[in-house]
Structure formats: structure tokens, C-alpha cells
Amino acid sequence: MPVDLTTAERRMWDAYRRGETCDLRLGPAERGEPDTAAEPSDGAAGALPRPRAGGGEPEARGARPADGDADPGRTVRAEVVALLLLDGPPSEPGRVAALKLTGALVTGLLNLSGGHVQPYVELRECHFDHQLLFPACHFTTVRMVRCEVPRIEAARLNSEGDLHLPQCTVPGGIRLTDAHIGTDLVLNQLTVGQSRSGHSIAADGLTVAQDVEAELLESTGEISLRSARIGGRLSLRGSALHNPYGRYALNAARITVEHTLYLSSGWFSGYLGGGTPPAGVHTQRFTSEGGIRLDDGRFGNAVIADKAHFRLTGTQQLSLRRVQTPELRLVLDEPPSGRVSLAGARVGNLTDRPSSWPGRGGIDLAGFSYESLSSPSPVPLDQRIAWLADATPEYNPEPYETLAQVLRHGGEDSQAREVLLAKQRRRRETLPLAGMMWGWLQDVTVGYGYRPGRAALWMAVLWAAGTLYFGLGHPPEPVDDRAWPHWNPALFALDLLLPVVDLGQSHAWRLGGAAQWVAAAMTMVGWVLASTVVTGASRLLRRG
């Protein structure tokens, strides 16, 4: 043991060898130890808090003293902590050495860069006056709970076990670039500010073997998880991300999450996370003041954004371009205030509601494919078609065809035809005047072929009109004086309307004048209407 240790450092040193917790919130008298330093102690449980120097309100148990009011009974030097962790004394017989420190004021720079820390590390309610330097440091397990740290530099950190930072305050940001966590990364109820680069958590290339729990986290700046790999789930339930003046509040392009990404509500249940709230408990929604980027992400189970708030400004987006996931659940009470992009995404099941989507021009569905569609409550088809119209300010047939295919696979063939009819109507808006007129005629008469019943009705009306027209006039002259059928206006009109089928009437009589033009018009319209009826019937047969 170094000879120049203070009382607090000696207590920490002895507790390290025994593997016990050194609680510097308590003075030696409360611990049953000799009062060698003759220092006033903090209040123990059930005792009155120690008054602050100079009067005023008493200091809460474990609270940080005001500037210039350092407590020698709680102060330890960072160089002593580093000595313990990197080259500490052997444990007492039958004990396992570990640094378990509570309520300490650590002064100086704690630099463990490139070091190998073998003992277990647990720091609770500790205050550091300098940043922590852990680049390329190797740990077994590190747990820091309710600590205050100006900044944490831990690029390429390697932890065999957990890295816990719940309820900590880190105003200068955290850097975990290319870090490797052997089990879980826990950031629940963490309050983190941004560095000079604008990042609150810079963790590009992060690898976590199991879960990343970041529930009820409060971040100011950009959280960067580009190319991160997470073996379990990534939970941001109940978190509040603030970066209104930057581009992204969460930048997780090319991330791989083996289980589920949660951007949903959370609730307070201790620092180990929200989990599933019991009935009646107050929950906190996930909110993002800034863009969310999940481009090219891979999610093994689902992406769940349930009752979240996305407040986007300017060019900020909720971007899920080329995402791949078995399920996307986007169930919001109010639409994002910016653009939502699912261009090129591939989803198994899409669960949404109309209130999840922004208005016209705020949705990008180009190349978006999904196999099934569901909603917490029934969504009328006209709202689905309006969703496609909002997603295609400029005509694009692909979103319509995708929705029609999904509806057809779900047994909704009539709804699929309505979607394809809406596609043709959108296409008509892009045509020149002649094409628009022809398209309008097709729509009115046969519904572009997607309403065969209307075509049959038109044929019946034209048949009746033709029968009446030819029946009121004089019978025409026969083509062959020796062999001609009996004149029948109804059969003659039907023979004109039905292509291919020959009833022996249309070629047996010689027409002239207006009747000739009427017969020609009925023949041409009959071809169009009959082909529409046949197409609809064949579609039904294929469906059967």
C-alpha cells in the first residue's frame, strides 16, 4: 500500500482486497471503524443529513458537494483508482478482489487507455471532475450507476461481460466507436449531452453480443450506431432524443439487430429497464426531435414504433430505406411532421393505421414491398388508396400493384381490382388530352376492365336500344332474295354486339343510311364490351 493514501483511499484499498463495497457516503463511525481522520461523516440511513459548510440547506446523502466544498472523507485520486485497477494488490485469502465504490469524488484524470483491467468494477453515485479515458481498454465487467462524468472516451473498449451506465449523467457525450461488449450494454435512464462534434453517443461499429437497453434515455445530440451489430434487441422505449438543429437524432444506418428494435413507450421500473408495464401504470412515449435513419438496416424479428412522436423539421426524415425485417409496426397517434421514406424496404408484415402517415408528398414508397397488411382497427379501402396517392405525387404504378397483390393474396380480389382501377385513374392524369378522353370513356363504360359487371350492363342497354331502333324502322332488304331468315330486330342487334358468334342475322340484311352507321358502331362497341366481360370472367375462373 502506498504510504501517502488518504483515509478515504485507504478504505477503498482495503475494501478492494476484500472484494467489499466501499461506501464513502458513510463516515468511519457509522461503519464501526476507528475515526482516524476525525472527519464529520455523512448521515447514515435514519440519521440527519450533514449540514453544508457555511450553513444553508443540509446536503442529501450521497449528493455531490458544491464547488469549493470538497469533502476529504469522500475524495479519492484518479491515479490511486488506476493503480488499483491496473496493478492492484492481491486479494485477501478466500476473497476475490473487486473495486466496488459508492459516493466517491474522484479527482484528476482516470486514464486506463490500452490497459487490462482484471477485477470487477462497480461504481455507484460517484462524481468525476475529469473525463474517463478508456480507449482500447480491456475489462471483465463495468457497472457505473448514478454517476456524474464530464465525458467518457472508450473507443475500441473490450468488455468480456456487461457495460452498465444506468442513471448516469454524461454532459460531454460518450464515445464507443468499434467497442465490443461481451453480454449486455445498459444505458437506461442515462442523461447524455453532445460533444463538440455534435454526437451524444458515437458508437459506429459497436458490437454487443446480447441486448442494448437504452430505455428512458435522454440524449441531446446525435446517437450514431452506424454498422453496429447487436445480438439481441435494441430497446429505446420511452427515450427522448433531442437534436432539432442537426440532421439526425438517431443515425443507425447499416445496423444489424438480431431481434427487435423498439421505438415505443417505456415506464420507470428501476434502472434495469421498462419492460412490459402493468395495467394502469403511467408510461412515457418515445420522442425524437430530429431525424431517424435506419437505412440498410437488418432486423431479425421486428421494428416497432408504437405510440411514438417524431418531430421533424426541414430536411429531417424518418428514413427506413432498404430496411429488411419480418415485421414493421408503425402505429402512431399523430403522423411524423416530416417525410417518411420506405424506398426499397422489404417487410414481411406491415402493421399501421392511417394516422401514422404524413400527407401528400410526405411518403416515399418507391420499391417498397410487403407480403401482408394489418391494422389495429379496420381501415377503409378508400383510405388505403388515399395513402397511395399521398405517396405518389408523380404517378408511379408500383405502389398500387404491390397493394393489389397483397390484397389478392389475402383473398380480397374485389378490393385488389379497385386499387388497380385507382392506378389507371392516376395514370390518366399524366396522359395528353386525347388519351385522357379515351381513358375517361373506358372508365365510365367498363371501369378499365376491372368492373365486368358494368360492361355486361352496357351490353344489355345497347341491345335494348338496338332492338328498339331497328324494330321501329322499316325492315331492311335481304342480301339473298332466295334464302333469307325471318327479320328479327332483337336477334339482329344481338348479332351485331356479340363478336365471333354468328346468329345468321348481321350478314343477311342489307343496311343503308344511318342504320349502317348504327350497326358499325354497335359492332365496335360490342367487341370492346364483350372482351371486357370475358376478361373479368377468366379472372374469376383463375381465382377459383
Region of 502 on the Ramachandran plot (φ > 0 left; ψ -120 to 50 alpha; else beta): beta
> Cell numbers of 333, please?
397517434
- 270 CA to centre of own chain: 25
- Residue 483: predicted pLDDT: 61
Q: Kindly list the strands in the beta sheet with 105-107, ordered across the sheet, starting from the edge strand earlier in the chain.
A: 75-77, 105-107, 127-128
76-85 per-position pLDDT tens digit: 999 999 999 9
DSSP code of residue 260: E
Please say if the pLDDT value at position 188 is more than 50: yes
Distance of CA 476 to the CA centre of its chain: 74
CB-based contact 447:418 (threshold 8 Å): no
Grid cell in block for residue 531: 372482351
Task: Give pLDDT tens digits for 49-70.
Answer: 333 333 333 343 344 454 445 6
- In order of 430, 514, 517, the CA distances from 511 in angstroms are 42, 9, 9
Can you give the pLDDT at residue 456?
75
Angle at 246 between CA 240 and CA 249, to 5 degrees: 30
- What does the chain come to in residues? 544
The proportion of the chain whose per-residue pLDDT surpasses 90, expressed as a percent, equals: 54
Of the chain, the percentage scoring pLDDT greater than 70 comes to: 84
Mean pLDDT across the chain:
84
Question: Does 15 score more than 50 pLDDT?
Answer: yes
Of 142, 196, 187, 143, which Cα lies nearest the Cα of 169? 187
Pairwise CA distance, residues 486 & 471, whole Å? 13
Which of 265, 321, 420, 473 has its CA nearest to residue 492? Answer: 473
* Cα 208–Cα 211–Cα 217 angle in degrees, nearest 5: 105
Reduced to 3 states (helix: H, G, I; strand: E, B; else coil), residue 299 is strand
pLDDT at 28: 56
DSSP state of 161: S
Q: Which of 110-124, 193-207, 304-318, 436-450 has the lowest mean pLDDT?
A: 436-450
Of the two residues 442 and 279, the one the predictor is more confident about is: 442
pLDDT tens digit sequence for 380-423 = 899 999 999 888 888 888 999 999 999 988 888 888 888 888 88
Question: Hey, which residues does 170 pair with through a beta bridge?
Answer: 192
Q: Is the pLDDT of residue 31 over 60?
A: no
279 pLDDT above the threshold of 70: no
Model confidence at 111: pLDDT above 80:
yes
pTM, 2 dp? 0.78
For the CA atoms of the chain, what is the radius of gyration? 38
Copy the grid coordinates of residue 120: 470487477
